[in-house]
Amino acid sequence: MIEMIEEFLIRNGLHESCYDFEEHVKDFIKEMELGLFGEGSSLRMLPSYLGVTPKTAPEGDVIAIDAGGTNLRIALVNFSDGAAPVVRRVEKHFIPGSKTEINKDGFFNSIADYIGDRTEESDKIGFCFSFPCEILPDREGRIIHFDKEVKVTDSEGAMIRSELNAAFSRMGKAYTDVTVLNDTAAALIGAVFSHGIKDMGGYIGFIYGTGINICYYEAEKHMLINTEAGGYGGFKKSVCDEEIDDESEDPGSQRFEKMASGAYFSKVVLKAVKLAVGQGLFSKKAGELLSSLSVINAPDIDIFLKEKGAPGTELGKLCDTEEDKAALLGILDGLYERAAKLTAIAMTAVLIRSGATAAHPAFIVAEGSTFRKGYRLQERFENRIAAYAKEGKVYELMLADDHAVLGAAASVFL
């Protein structure tokens, strides 16, 4: 059965061996360099105009907005006399446009409404925006587009600071000073600021949740660069990936993200399982049950793998024979191996570009539920990098715990 599953995954372009690690690392670095210097590239390499550590001693209250792929978090963060920052008045909402389509004004009106009377305590806002966005030298942000299946019409090209202040104006509120940054930068800045980490061989922010992205400190530009890694177009897509891309809100964009991120991984699994049913890998009864599925939930995938296909799990109930269980376990495990390898390729390329070495390792701040909860995903990811970086470990990894909120607030002082 193992050989049969391996053959199925290879035949359909879903096996990790379909991707040459070293060649893709070289190509990813090439795409990074093209993007850095304004040449055509699938990696946008967007400047942040932010460093890593504060230029002035932070003091006072700051409103923090973390607009993630699924959730919107808003808080008030107090900085005082060099003490640890205090995060308070935290609220979480579904991000506008994630449940039903909304227009640009509705999106910013909703955020302004959620902020509420916090504007009476601060006129400074750090806005972590987790979608493709061009940061301008004055730290305004121009929206490129929404992704991760968030639907906001008339938003392309909109200026985030201007639109939020227009929403405040409609509410009769005063102007606020808004610093816009992306999620990877926010998580990294928050962790560095919180833990006082300095003198590393490089600084890297890594988001692996609903979406996938990486930022890093680019010495030649003297700032953090948002790679928009999820847009990398060098990985060959399987028929499952092609179908998911075609069915998405933005066909042709975020190609890597649609192969491995939390917003899409379970869709890849569902497509692959139904493909396997069609190619005769399951018994008749299991095939009928699996074919009837309209969705496979990510937690059910992880529980099934963790419990080794136990009959009591949701996916285990769909298996009629031991062969069914082995086939499903093999497909799910194989797809996680592919996701880990693709993501490790991207990270290895960034590590090399950042100049990290075993003697001067980079500091990676990783945030995102998929990376944390995906079955053995972090282990698989780190093993892939270790196998390539033979001279020794070239990074120190820290799992961030909601550091994006703190990083958004701290960004106003950078």
Q: How confident is the model at residue 137 (pLDDT cuts 50, 70, 90)?
A: very high
Q: How confident is the model at residue 38 (pLDDT cuts 50, 70, 90)?
A: confident
pLDDT, position 373: 95
Q: What is the pLDDT of residues 144-171, one digit of tens each?
A: 988 877 899 999 999 999 999 999 999 9
pLDDT, position 321: 96
The stretches of 279-367 forming alpha helices (DSSP H) are 284-291, 298-306, 322-354
Nearest to 204 by CA among 224, 182, 220, 181: 224
CATH class label, 48-189+404-413:
alpha beta
Q: How confident is the model at residue 201 (pLDDT cuts 50, 70, 90)?
A: confident
pLDDT, position 123: 92
Alpha carbon of 183 to those of 14, 115, 211, 311, 334: distances in Å?
A: 29, 19, 10, 39, 29
Residue 129: both structure tokens together: 């925006």
Calculate what percentage of the chain has a pLDDT beyond 90. Answer: 78
Calculate what percentage of the chain has a pLDDT beyond 70. Answer: 100
State the chain's maximal CA–CA distance in angstroms.
Answer: 68
CB-hemisphere CA count at 13 Å for 55? 7
pLDDT, position 148: 74
Q: How confident is the model at residue 20 (pLDDT cuts 50, 70, 90)?
A: very high
Nearest to 99 by CA among 156, 147, 150: 150
pTM: predicted TM-score of the whole model, two decimal places = 0.89
- Average pLDDT along the chain: 93
Query: Which of the 8 DSSP states describes residue 159?
Result: B
Residues 6+ apart with CB under 8 A from 403: 186, 187, 188, 189, 190, 191, 194, 365, 367
CB-hemisphere CA count at 13 Å for 213? 28
Nearest to 367 by CA among 396, 332, 404: 404
Query: Which of the 8 DSSP states describes residue 226?
Result: E
Q: What is the mean pLDDT of residues 116-134?
A: 93
pLDDT, position 402: 72
143 pLDDT above the threshold of 90: yes
pLDDT, position 401: 73
Which amino acid is present at 385? I
Residues 6+ apart with CB under 8 A from 39: none
Q: How far apart are CA 297 and CA 315, in angstroms?
A: 10
Judged by average pLDDT, the poorest of 44-53, 342-351, 369-378 is 44-53
Which of left, alpha, beta for 395 (phi over 0: left; psi -120 to 50: alpha)?
beta
37 pLDDT above the threshold of 80: yes
Q: How confident is the model at residue 207 (pLDDT cuts 50, 70, 90)?
A: very high
Element (H, E) at 67: strand 60-67
Q: What is the pLDDT of residues 290-312, one digit of tens each?
A: 999 999 999 999 999 999 999 99
Q: How far apart are CA 338 and CA 340, in angstroms?
A: 5
The stretches of 151-297 forming alpha helices (DSSP H) are 160-170, 183-195, 239-247, 257-260, 265-278, 284-291
Q: Across the strands, what pairs with 181?
A: 128
Q: How far apart are CA 340 and CA 196, in angstroms?
A: 30
Q: How far apart are CA 319 and CA 323, in angstroms?
A: 8
